[in-house]
């Protein structure tokens, strides 16, 4: 979900990714947010994620050793480079309830479409 600095919603989305790891899902969510921000001329972005791995890889604290994540990481860095400012911070899952709600909505929609 994208919000203003005052926490007013700008946009939210969810998508079923099929068979993917949670790390791939986190990267795809980041890529969607980055692309949305760029498409709508939001040049400053602050991301809060419950994925410690994602935050630390994007911030350069962890190496990206998984080849499947490397392409997603590279794409994220390409998009981040187009922003004026960018930050990403790890937050505990308990403080990120909206992300869980969106993930569950995507799973439920996929389940219903498969019935």
pLDDT tens by residue, 81-94 = 999 999 999 988 77
pLDDT, position 9 = 73
| Predicted confidence band of residue 8 (pLDDT cuts 50, 70, 90) | confident
Question: Sign (positive/negative) of CA torsion 21, 74, 32, 60?
Answer: positive
Domains within the chain, CATH numbers bracketed: 2-104 (3.30.420.10)
CB burial of 56-94 (b: ≥16 within 10 Å; e: otherwise) equals ebbeeeeebeeeebeebbebbeebbeeeeebebebeeee
Give tens-digit pLDDT for 32-66: 999 999 999 999 998 988 899 999 999 999 999 99
The answer to whether the CB of 107 falls within 8 A of the CB of 16 is yes
- Interval 2-28 mean pLDDT: 75
The whole-angstrom separation of Cα 31 and Cα 23 is: 12
The whole-angstrom separation of Cα 10 and Cα 37 is: 10
pLDDT, position 109 = 61
| Predicted confidence band of residue 107 (pLDDT cuts 50, 70, 90) | low
**CA dihedral in degrees (5, 45, 104, 12; nearest 10)?**
70
pTM: 0.78
Strand 9-11 to 2-3 pairing? antiparallel
- Interval 5-19 mean pLDDT: 69
């Amino acid at each position: 979900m994208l919000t203003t600095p005052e926490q007013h919603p700008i946009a939210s989305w969810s998508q079923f990714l099929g068979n993917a790891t949670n790390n791939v899902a986190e990267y795809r969510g980041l890529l969607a947010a980055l692309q949305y921000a760029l498409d709508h001329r939001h040049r400053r972005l602050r991301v809060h994620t419950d994925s410690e791995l994602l935050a630390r890889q994007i911030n350069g604290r962890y190496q990206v050793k998984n080849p499947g994540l490397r392409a997603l990481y590279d794409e994220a860095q390409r998009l981040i480079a187009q922003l004026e400012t960018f930050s990403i911070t790890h937050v505990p899952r308990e403080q990120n309830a909206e992300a869980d709600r969106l993930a569950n909505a995507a799973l439920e929609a996929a389940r219903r479409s498969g019935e």
